[in-house]
Amino acid sequence: MKEFGNTYKLREPLMVCISAQRMPYARGNTLLHRQEPLLILGDEHSRMRRQLNSAFSPQSIKDVSHVLFDLAHRLAENFDNNIGLEAESAIFDISPLLHSFAVDAISMTMFAHNLSAGKEDIPGILHNIMNGPNVDSIAARCIGIFIGMFPQLLALPNPMKSWADKLRTELGKIANKVWDEGCSDAGMDAKIMQALSMFTTIHRKEASLSYSLVERDDSNGEAVSRDEAVAQLISILFAGSETVANVLGELLYELARQPAIQDKLRQELLDFQSKYGRSPNYEDLTKSTSNTLPYLDAVTRETMRCKATLMDIARCALEDDVIPLSTPLANTNITQIKVKAGTNISIPIRDGVNVDPEIWGPDADVFRPERWFEDGGLPDSVKAVRALGNIMSFGDGPRICLGRTFAYAEFKIVAATLIPKFVLATEGSKIDFYHLGGNTVKPKVRGREAEGIQLPLCIRRF
C-alpha cells in the first residue's frame, strides 16, 4: 500500500481497493454452500435475507440471550476446571474452549442442537475445513494460487470437498430431526427454523417452548425446501462460529498484553456489580442509549476495528461500472476508476480500511479503546467510512453481516462474564495471527507453528 497507494491492480481481472465508498458488488462460491444468502445474487439473495432477518433481530437475540449467558458461565467453569482446585493459576490453550462456545452459541439458539455434546463430529469437520493445512510451505502457497486462478479444480475429489460433503450430510440429519420432531428443550431455540417459516409455536408451558412443523410457505408464497434449510444452517454455522471464536481470542490476548486496559475494564464491571448488586444483564450490555458500561463498549468497538477477523471482503463487478475513490490513485489526480464486468475487487479490512492512518490517524494500528470517547479521539475522516459504527468488519450495504448484533451480544456477554473472574497474562510465547484456511486469521505460537492453532495464556482467578 505504501508503494502502490490505496487502489491498484494485481492481476487481470483482480483489483485491490481501499476506499470509504460503498461497493455493492457480488461474489460467489459453491464448495460449501449450494444456496446461501452470503453468496447468491439478485432477487434470490434478497428473498433469503428476508427469510433470515427475523432470526437475528434484536428481539430474537434477546429471546435467546439466556442461552448465551449460560454458555458464557460454562466457559468460565471450563477456565476454572483447567486451573484446578488446588492452584490459583494455570497456563492452557483457550482456543478450543472459545471455539466450543461459539459453535454451541449458534447451534443451540438457531437450530436447537448442542453440537459439542452431540455424537456427530461436526466441530472436528469445521476445524478441518476452516483451518486447512497446518504447514505453510511454498508448495501449499503455489497450490493456493493455482486454485485461485482455476477455482473449478475445487470440484475434483479432495479432502476439503469430502469434509464439505460430510458436513452437509450431518447437518442435514440434524435439520431433518428438528423438522420432524420439533424443539421442546427450554435451554435451546430454533430461530433459523422459525425464520424460515418451518415452525409455529403450538403451546407454552412454564419456561418451555415447543415447536412443531407446519407445512407453510414463506412470506412470498414460495415453499422452503429442506435442502435450502440445510444450506442456511451451514452458512450461519460457518459465519457465526469461526469469526466469534477468533475475535474473542484476540480480545483476551490483547487484554493479557495490556494489563492496564484489562484492569480498567474489570474495575468498570466490578463497580457495576457493586452499584446494582448484580452482574450486567442483556439490556445493560446492548442498549445503545445506556451509558452504564462505556469502557466495555469502547473495548468492543476497538476490538472489532483493529482485530477484525476478516482479511478482506471480495466483490465481483456484475456490469461495467465506475468506482469513485476517496483518495486519488498513487501519483495521480485520478479519483475514479473504470472496472469491467467480471473484475474481482478485494477490499482489505483487517490491514486496510480499519487501520488506515489516513482515516484513523497516526496511531491507527494501536489498540486504544479511549479513542472512542475522548475528545478528539476520532478524526473527522472516520465519518467518511459510512458503514455501521464507522468500521468495515461486518461489511456494508445490502450484504452487511446478518449476525452482527448477535456477534456483539456474544462478545459483550463473554467479556462481562470472564473479566471480573479471571486475570489474564501472556505466558512468554509470542503469538502470531495467521491467515489460514477460509478468510479469517487464527493464532499460532511463533516457532511452534507446526503444532497448529493454539492460544496459550496464563489464567489466574481474581
Q: State how far the Cα of 210 lies from the Cα of 173, in Å rounded to an integer.
A: 20
Supply 374's cell numbers: 475522548
Annotated binding-site ranges: 401
Taking Cα atoms as reference points, which of 309, 308, 292, 287 lies closest to residue 405? 287
Q: State how far the Cα of 122 lies from the Cα of 327, in Å rounded to an integer.
A: 45
Q: Which helix (H) or strand (E) holds 115?
A: none
DSSP code of residue 18: -
Supply 41's cell numbers: 445474487
Q: Taking a C-beta distance cutoff of 8 angstroms, is the pair 413, 72 a contact?
A: yes
**3-class secondary structure for 384-425?**
HCCCHHHCCCCCCHHHCCCCHHHHHHHHHHHHHHHCCCEEEE
DSSP code of residue 447: T
Annotated binding-site ranges for heme: 401
Q: Taking a C-beta distance cutoff of 8 angstroms, is the pair 38, 401 a contact?
A: no
Task: Give buried/exposed letters for 105-115 (b at 16+ CB in 10 A, else e).
Answer: bbbbbbbbbeb
3-state secondary structure of 337: strand
Provide the residue count of the chain. Answer: 462
Angle between helices 404-418 and 65-83 (to 10 degrees): 40
Q: State how far the Cα of 166 lies from the Cα of 146, in Å rounded to an integer.
A: 25
Q: State how far the Cα of 99 lies from the Cα of 128, in Å rounded to an integer.
A: 13
Cis peptide before 13 (omega within 30 of 0): yes
405 alpha-carbon distance from chain centroid = 11
Radius of gyration of the chain (CA): 22
3-state secondary structure of 335: coil
